[in-house]
């Protein structure tokens, strides 16, 4: 089963959001008509999707690396930026 238009729009947005003015959360609401929480929930599921990987391998691999880095940091008791957690 392929990606829906909404899922493609989410991946496309994730690739280009840095070029948009203002905070990412505002762009999520205005561009995709989603709450940030719902956006991140959908994006989290997409990252594990083979269809998403085929659609945009660079974005999906980058997001997987970021997720892995954050999980590892939590496991090691530090923040994702390398500072010790409180």
Task: Please indicate, yes or no, if residue 30 is contained in any of the structural domains.
Answer: yes
| Torsional sign, CA 5, 63, 58, 30 | positive
What is the token pair recorded at 34? 């989603």
pTM for the structure as a whole: 0.79
Task: Please indicate, yes or no, if residue 81 is contained in any of the structural domains.
Answer: no
Task: Please indicate, yes or no, if residue 83 is contained in any of the structural domains.
Answer: no
The predicted-structure confidence for 22-76, as pLDDT tens digits, reads as follows 999 999 999 999 999 999 999 999 999 999 999 999 999 999 999 988 878 777 7
User: Helix 36-47 to helix 57-75 angle, to the nearest 10 degrees?
Assistant: 100
Task: Please indicate, yes or no, if residue 84 is contained in any of the structural domains.
Answer: no
What confidence score (pLDDT) does residue 20 get?
A: 87
SS3 34: coil
Task: Please indicate, yes or no, if residue 82 is contained in any of the structural domains.
Answer: no
Range of the domain at 42: 5-75
Domain count, the chain: 1
């Amino acid at each position: 089963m392929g990606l829906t238009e909404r899922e493609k729009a989410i991946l496309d947005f994730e690739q280009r959001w840095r070029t948009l003015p203002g905070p990412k959360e505002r762009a999520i609401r205005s561009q995709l008509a989603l709450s940030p929480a719902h956006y991140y929930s959908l994006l989290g599921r997409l990252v594990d999707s083979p269809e998403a990987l085929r659609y945009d391998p660079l974005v999906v691999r980058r997001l997987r690396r970021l997720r892995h880095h954050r999980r590892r940091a939590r496991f090691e008791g530090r923040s994702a930026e390398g500072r010790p957690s409180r």
